Amino acid sequence: MNYFAHARIAAARDADAAVANACDPAFVLGAMLPDFAHMIGARVADLAHPALRSGAQHHHQADAAFHRAPAFVALVRGATRALAAGGLARGPARGAAHVGIELLFDGALVGDPHADAAYVSALGAAPALDAAIRWSRADGPLRWQQLHARLLAHGPPVSLREPAHVSERVARALAPRPRLALARHQHAIVERWLADARPQVTAVAPRLLAETIERL
């Protein structure tokens, strides 16, 4: 699961907060921070704000719940078969299926008013919370500020509805792992699968969201 879905699930930690769009932005930001840290190549060394710390803990709990959800397991199993049938070896097929389903799930949540509101609110609150985040590297604050500016300028990640964009994201995610990495000519196989799988993931997304929340 990726940062946008983490914002949605953090906002739903209780039904009243989700309905009112009143979930603590610091908690939502904390729930996204582990993904943001990965994106800037740094670790979060310390969080001196209780809601940020709680949110970061929620991130790991939500990941575990998501990966155990029956809907996610079924989607990845079917995607792995489809990608293997399309010409990918089992390792890259499983890797692309896992990452691709996660990104398609994020894309399916874009436009959800609770997800959009929680995400935008958390990014808006980030500058006031920067002093509470200690990064593992000296240039961490600058890298985070640069990423934050890009995310804030783009708003909710509507590009995750585009198979070509998601295919490139999948390839980048798998590239550091030689046994899972995609050859350049395999990007087209993944993109075709993403285009076919997107309607199914969109249809299943409400059930997958509910299954994840129920397990927290």
DSSP label of 24: -
Q: Is 111 left (phi over 0), alpha (psi -120 to 50) or beta?
A: left
In the chain, the number of structural domains is 1
Cβ atoms 207, 172 nearer than 8 A:
no
Which residues in the chain come in under a pLDDT of 70? 14-22
Q: Count Cβ atoms within 10 A of the Cβ of residue 93 and give its class: 0-12 exposed, 13-18 middle, 19 or more buried.
A: buried
Domain containing 49 equals: 3-214
pLDDT given at position 16: 45
Residues 73-118 pLDDT 10s: 999 999 999 999 999 999 999 999 999 999 999 999 999 998 999 9
pTM: 0.92
Cβ atoms 166, 100 nearer than 8 A:
yes
Instruction: Give the residues across from 44 on adjacent strands.
Output: 135
> Mean pLDDT across the chain, nearest whole number?
94
CA distance 194 to 79: 9
